[in-house]
Amino acid sequence: MGLVFALAAAIWVAGWLMNAPVRARMLMIGILIAGVILAQLVLPQGNGLRIATGGSAAGWVVLLGLGLLGLGYGGLLRGLRRRAAPTAPEQRAALGATELDRYSRHIMLREIGGPGQRRLGEARVLVIGAGGLGSPVLLYLAAAGVGTIGVIDDDVVENSNLQRQIVHSDSRIGMPKVFSAQIAVEALNPFITLRPYHRRLTEDIAAELFADYDVIIDGTDNFDTRYLVNRVAARLGKPLIAGAMSQWEGQVSLYDPAHGTPCFECVFPTRPAPGLAPSCAEAGVVAPLPGVVGAIMATEAVKHLTGAGETLAGRMLIHDALYGETRSITLRRRPGCAACGGKGLAPGGANA
């Protein structure tokens, strides 16, 4: 047996001197042990080589099995580490002449410029809902050059949507909204990628879906989904831009408890009583209002991604279209919030 161990050590040292990979050296030692096992099985009892290599195949089989088990376990650990490691942001090629011209008005802005436009191109934004709010959000994110946009919605285009959902058209009535939105967005900007998810957002897919995006934008119209989106975004540390509207009034905020701001549930710990927050289908909505609110949501995404100006983190903007008034209110974290815990520092460094 000593002879085999000496040969194995020689293989290892020779491989090390030749800068051979560890896996290659392990493979050569494995071949050596497999040869020893074959010799033990083929050569007759009493053969000198069998005696010199231990006289039995059993011990070598166990040793080879343990080695293979160790290699398999190491490979599994490496695979898990690769999956757990944060994905490096996609590096886009330099903007071509057509894109430079397309985004020139952004590049002129001191707060965005070339570096900011590049960040937009490398960004991934998920839009939940392709309806009234999702329509302007999707169009303006695409126009702004956000490189990857996801949109999830299980609904189809209906005639009654077209009064305000400007990403759709009469010819696409009956088509799933995400595919209708894809047609409009790709026609507007062929330099970006839109990922359509024609399904309802549910608890079992939300975390995996959100993990692939930098910013989550909620344009839904029901509290069950809003609470789900906020809870998962808070757990993953993803900034959430959420808007809501009804009749003549809309509101927008950026919820980012990972950076000290309140989450949606801090502000709305319980859902409103029936009738107090009716949906557009129940109470109606003036046609341009989703465009106003959705454009603000898209602007917040652009500012957050580029670092321009001051976002609505820790504040809520309320727009009253009927009387032409817009105001903002300060939001505070709620101690003991079930979604984010309500702990940490509020914007400006003071405890919320």
Per-residue pLDDT tens digits for 298-324: 999 999 999 999 999 999 999 999 999
What pLDDT, on a 0 to 100 scale, did the predictor assign at position 202?
Answer: 94
User: CA 242 to CA 229: how far, in whole Å?
Assistant: 10
At position 206, the amino acid (one-letter code) is A
Q: Could you read off the pLDDT of 148-184 as tens digits, one per residue? A: 999 999 999 999 999 999 999 999 999 999 999 999 9
What pLDDT, on a 0 to 100 scale, did the predictor assign at position 75?
Answer: 65
- 83 close to 90: Cβ distance less than 8 angstroms: no
- Report residue 136's pLDDT band, with 50, 70 and 90 as the boundaries: very high
Domain boundaries, the chain: 2-84, 97-330
- Report residue 348's pLDDT band, with 50, 70 and 90 as the boundaries: very low
Residue located via tokens 């974290």? 333
Task: List all residues 6 or more positions away from 18 whose beta carbon is below 8 Å from its beta carbon.
Answer: none
Share of the chain above pLDDT 90, in %: 63
Mean of pLDDT over the chain: 85
The single-letter DSSP state of residue 249 is: E
User: CA 122 to CA 137: how far, in whole Å?
Assistant: 18
The pTM assigned to this predicted structure is 0.71
- Report residue 65's pLDDT band, with 50, 70 and 90 as the boundaries: confident
Question: Which of 26, 6, 11, 13 shows the shortest CA–CA distance to 69?
Answer: 26
E-state strands within the chain = 124-128, 148-152, 193-197, 215-218, 240-246, 249-255, 315-320, 325-330
- 55 close to 85: Cβ distance less than 8 angstroms: no
Question: CA angle, corner 253, sides to 334 and 346, nearest 5?
Answer: 40
Q: Could you read off the pLDDT of 201-242 as tens digits, one per residue? A: 999 999 999 999 999 999 998 899 999 999 999 999 999 999
Question: Alpha carbon of 125 to those of 59, 197, 235, 304: distances in Å?
Answer: 57, 13, 17, 11
3-state SS class at 278 = coil
Residue 314 burial (C-beta neighbours within 10 Å; 0-12, 13-18, 19+): buried
At position 125, the amino acid (one-letter code) is V
Q: What is the CATH number of domain 97-330?
A: 3.40.50.720
- 280 close to 132: Cβ distance less than 8 angstroms: yes
